[in-house]
Structure 1
Amino acid sequence: MNTSFAGQRRSVRSVAAGLGLAAGLAVSACGVSGAASDASGTATSGVAKAAKAHLEKLSQPVSGAPDLGDPVDTSKVAGKTVFYVPIALKAGHFPFVQKNLQEALAKVGADLHTCDGQGNPSGFGACLDQAVQQRPAAVITDYIPYELASTAFEKLRSAGVPVFIAGAKQPQGVATSKAFAFGDPENYGFNAVEGEADAVIADSDGKAHVLFLQLNASTAIEAQGQHTIDYFKRACPHCVLTVKGVNLGIMSNIPSLVSSALVRDPGIGYVVPQTDTYLAAAVSGVQAAGKTRSIKISSSGDVLASVQQVKSNPQLLAMAGTNPPYLAWTMADSVFRMVAGQAPPETYPVLNRVFTKQNVNSLDLTTAAEAGGQWFGSTGYKQAFANLWSAK
């Protein structure tokens, strides 16, 4: 095993703590510092007004159903099984994807078999090898980098089993086809991190000094983190951005990393964890630094515990969610098209939503609403997909 693969393996194992993959360290800064103000009040700068307007747009609930494409023949998947292999089933939103995949597949008379990737390459390989032996109608993987299970993925390709690699970018040099495709999460992820940044820009009147905690292992997660940095630079030229890489495999180190950064630079007024995977650790670091009253936080996530904190924690400005139930239905649509001999769409409409102090009280903060996707607004996309599939 070479050194680079060993590093990837360690960082993938850490994803059992949440959606992201993380490793490495990165530090950068840009802009100049300034005082903060309340985004719920009047934004005085043009930068803050633009951020507030964008945030308000992203905070609106989905209304109706988007245009989801052309009808597809699902007869070839009826009565068959689709494999679902999440990177780590207990992490983040994957249980809700699983539940909604089962609901979507049932619409066309198909069954779901879930195999937990367990957050490590051996788990990925075991699940995909199981699929090679059982020859399901299709396989969906979720946030598993191709590079960490390339041999197993290629076995499936050779066996003629359609494979949809969701939550992952296509690596350079890896061929795709109508039966072997990637579901790049870039549109969803970029939309979410812009929302978490807008909350900070608006609240600070365009003068935030931010500690950004970045994830650096998966190519998709790296792209989202870099987009956050670029967005802050572009949308808030008078913000200061200090970037710290984190290793979720050693979660206990994150509070000390945050507290030491805040003590070292007392001008920092905001902490932005790229995802809510390590929100609790970041909050602990803020508390250890004695900055609970002065630091504000913004992040991305879509699980009940995180969204509840938008309501209960005065520090937390916003939580940008990516609608796991909807993502599940797009995955089902993709594999139905692949089984029918069609290439899946490169992307689907983004139905994200940012949860803020202004809209969180309107949400039904229950596990049922979390699993059903009602926080994001209309679930009319379910019937819209069913209509495309000639399903009930």
Structure 2
Amino acid sequence: MNTTANTPAPIPSVRRRLVGAGLATALLAALAACGGGATTTSASAGPETKEGTAARAALADLARPFGEVPTLGTPFDTAALAGKTVYYVPIALKVGHFPLITKNLTDALGRVGVKLYTCDGQGNPSGISSCLDQAIASKPAAVVTDYIPYEMVPTAIDRVRKSGVPVFVAGAAAPEGTEQSATFAFGDPDRQGFVLMDGIGDAVVADSDGKASVLLLSVTDSASTRRAGARAAAHLKEACPGCRLVVKEVSLSRMKDVPSLVSSALLTDPSIGYVIPQYDTYLAATTTGLQSSGKARDVRIATSGATLAAVQQVKTNDRLIAVAGVNPPYLAWTMADSVLRMLAGQRPPAEYPSLARAFTKDNIGTLDLTPEAEVSGRWFGEPGAYQKAFTGLWGVR
């Protein structure tokens, strides 16, 4: 594979095994659906390659809904937790999947009588710090942050810890040397994010039968998004030695530059037939760039995130071949399990089983593409299965 950016060494594939429950995704913005037919044909011709065959098998595995729920942990006593309050601080409450997390986290904690109070971090250190100071003043039983790296607001998080309130940092890896404990724990997003990066790479390799020329938009917003971008590049190199990869770095702070970056890359290298925006946050900007280049009908896209707007486009936009996503309602229940264990004096597990899924042209017709279905998590499998498993561990029904 030829590259125009440094590509990390291959990392062994991780598919549908035990993976972390943190979310290694960038902020997921609501995206407008693109028009177009729902049918497409393979970009390859002639005999199938071994790379294409392997990728199609891997993608088909990820495209199935989950069946039986794996073991989620050991039972523990939650009887003494009723009446307590948990403070939830997402990085930006109104963006992407965070409203889904809020709704499902409220439901999950409510099963044991724990109340949730939510404060919007507003996407910046000042707003997050203000929320954490409010939490200290409110004296909750615990604080949960979501997709806020410790390094972003270390002083504010340390103030909460010094006040005696346990802190669970969801969607962020622990700083080097920090051990998981009952008072300070992390939901490492890396391995969950790697499943998605493998999935969208497999979609491109499968569609091209191992002959793709790919533009990867690698997100630099945080350490976890950088690691996920490196994983995407490494998996493509491993799964498709005959593919060609061009890597361009993007970030939320430079979102306005993404359309011109995409257009320039395609005009410079007309051989590019696939674009992988690392997250569906960048899907609208990518589409604008394709239109500006005059190649909107010639280039196919795969991305991750699985917000309703993005998943709907798998059906309506014939150039979007796959969206791979985590199950936000399930993630909320893993977060509830972690913080409840901390309130019970336990160290939460570092990882939970993955319930990720890829949405493709082959399975999109089976989905109920409504806000209600998105909130429930039904796209990924039967929600009652993992809810029953968790409440069983908590000793409630």
Same fold, TM-score > 0.5, yes or no: yes
Task: Decide whether the 8 Å contact of 1:72 with 1:336 is kept in 2.
Answer: no
Name the CA distance, whole Å, in 2 between partners of 1:218 and 1:164.
18
What amino acid maps onto 1:375 in structure 2? W
Quick one: which of 152, 160, 164 aligns to 1:160?
164
Q: Secondary structure of the equivalent of 1:161?
A: coil
What's the secondary structure of 1:320's corresponding residue? strand
Cα distance in 2 for partners of 1:357, 1:299 equals 14
2:125 is aligned, of 105, 121, 127, to 121
Q: Match for residue 254 of structure 1?
A: 258
Deviation of 1:245 (Å): 0.7
Going from structure 1 to structure 2, the CA distance change for 1:183 and 1:221 (only over 3 Å counts) comes to same
- Structure 1: where are the runs of 5+ without partners? 1-14, 20-36
Residue in 2 that maps onto 1:347:
351
Identity within the alignment, %: 55
Moved more, 59-68 or 332-341: 59-68
Q: Alpha carbon RMSD of aligned pairs, Å?
A: 1.7
Greater Cα offset, 200-209 or 249-258: 249-258
* Of 153, 175, 181, the match for 1:177: 181
Q: Which residue of 2 aligns with 1:193?
A: 197
Aligned residues: 361
**Aligned with residue 206 of structure 2, among 196, 202, 208:** 202
Report SS of the residue matched to 1:109.
coil
State the Cα distance separating 1:41 from its structure 2 match. 9.3
Using the alignment, how far apart are the partners of 1:217 and 1:256 within structure 2?
Answer: 19
Aligned to 1:28: none
Indicate conservation of the 8 Å contact 1:70/1:388, yes or no.
yes
Partners of 2:63 and 2:358 within 8 A in 1: yes
Q: State how far apart, in whole Å, the 2-side matches of 1:185 and 1:269 are.
A: 30
Q: Matches of 1:387 and 1:42 in 2, distance apart?
A: 53
Distance in structure 1 (CA, Å) of the matches to 2:178 and 2:347: 16
Confirm or deny that 1:384 pairs with 2:377: no
Instruction: Report what 1:27 is aligned to.
Output: none
Per-residue deviation, residues 18-76 of structure 1 (Å, max 9, x unmatched) = 49xxxxxxxxxxxxxxxxx8179997011111111000000000113221111111123
CA distance in 2, matches of 1:153, 1:183: 15
Match of 2:233 among 206, 219, 229: 229
Partner AA of 1:313 in structure 2: N
The Cα shift of 1:251 comes to 2.2
- For the 8 Å contact 2:180–2:350, the answer to whether it is kept is no
**Aligned equivalents of 1:368 and 1:273: distance in 2?**
26
Partner of 2:113: 109
User: 2:221 touches 2:252 (CA, 8 Å); kept in 1?
Assistant: no
**One-letter amino acid matched to 1:345:** P
1:334-384, Cα deviation, whole Å (9 max, x unpaired)? 011111111100100000000000000000000000001000012110111
Q: Where do 5+ consecutive residues of structure 2 fail to align?
A: 1-25, 31-40
SS at structure 1 position matched to 2:186: strand
Aligned to 1:303: 307
Q: Which digits, 9 at most, give the CA deviation of each residue in 1:243-292, with x for residues without a partner? A: 10113223221111101100000000000000000101101111111112
**TM-score, length basis structure 1:** 0.89
Secondary structure of the corresponding residue to residue 214 of structure 1 = strand
Cross-structure match for 1:84: 88
Q: State the alpha-carbon separation in 1 of the partners of residues 164 and 45 from structure 2.
A: 58
Structure 2 CA distance for aligned equivalents of residues 69 and 41 of structure 1: 47
> 5 Å matches for 1:22-41?
38=42
Instruction: Give 2:275's match in structure 1, choosing from 271, 274, 291.
Output: 271
Q: Deviations over 1:92-130 (max 9, x none)?
A: 111100000000011001111000110000111111111
Q: Which residue of 2 aligns with 1:60?
A: 64
**What SS is found at the alignment partner of 1:76?**
helix
Matched, 1:100 2:104: yes
Residues 113, 134 of structure 1: CA spacing in aligned structure 2 closer, same or farther, 3 A cutoff?
same
The residue that corresponds to 1:48 in the other structure is 52
Kept after mapping to 2: 8 A contact 1:65/1:378 = no
2:44, 2:209 within 8 Å by CA — same for their partners in 1?
A: no
Identify the residue that residue 374 of structure 1 maps to in structure 2.
378
Match of 1:3 in 2: none
Rounded to whole Å, the distance in 1 between the matches of 2:156 and 2:137 is 11
Q: Per the alignment, do residues 320 and 185 of structure 1 end up closer, same or farther by CA in structure 2, a change over 3 Å counting?
A: same
Taking the aligned partners of 1:43 and 1:365, their CA distance within structure 2 comes to 36
Contact 1:16–1:90 at 8 Å: present in 2 too? no
What letter corresponds to residue 171 of structure 2 in structure 1? Answer: G
SS at match of 1:317: strand
Runs of 4+ in 1 over 3 A off after TM superposition: 15-19, 39-43, 173-176
